[in-house]
Structure 1
Amino acid sequence: FIAEGGFSKIYKAIWVDGPIDKYYYSSPRTVRINNYTVVLKKLNNSKNITSKELNEILSNNDKAYGISEYFGITQDPITKDIMIIMPYYSSAENKNEKITSNNKWSSRNSQGKNYPQGFT
């Protein structure tokens, strides 16, 4: 458990199989990043969420520039609440620094106006 907000709880976890790193189109083979650290964003009281509501949540995440991407969704086996699987960034890492490392500070700073979209 890392933190709690108004609508969710945030957990840190290890994805044993990990996300797909490489996919070979010529064969059904994939290469995964094993033991990948992820964040699980557990949406409070979401066990009865509709597919329409879930799609809206996930599409809002896609539209928010500079806010973390997600790998997919899962479900808490006990509470049945929905959990969004996202990359984990340590406090020493700045995800936006990685995304925009070729931009100047003023450019990154001006992009900051879009950050709050990902927190709604």
Structure 2
Amino acid sequence: MNDASIYADGHSLEAAALWIQGLILGQVGTSIAVLAIAIIGLNMLRGTLWARDGVRSLLGCFILFGAPAIAHGLMGTLPRSTGPEVIVPFQPSTPIPQQANQSPSQINPFDPYAGHPLHNNSQ
């Protein structure tokens, strides 16, 4: 799949996230990580940086560049679904009483409290 097909779909946030991912995991990010590890190693050799901090930075680079493999491994441990989930709408056992002054056409179908006698519709 090429990058042009991703950007043509109109999903701007997804395209921005993929651009940042490509920037971090691409040549620019790799170059910055190599330079950072080289500078950290030089500072560790000079004694101006603790070995613990240098190892922490190295571990961070491994986690950053290994994130796709780590995520794939974690996703492989999840149970696989056999198909799409079927959601059955709730069917009340007794019908919801409607107020005497409202016709069924005036009730908002998206209001979960519509028709309840204690619901105040005058807002």
Please tell me the TM-score bracket, short chain as reference.
Answer: under 0.3
Bigger CA radius of gyration: 2
Considering fraction of residues, name the structure with more helix.
Answer: 2
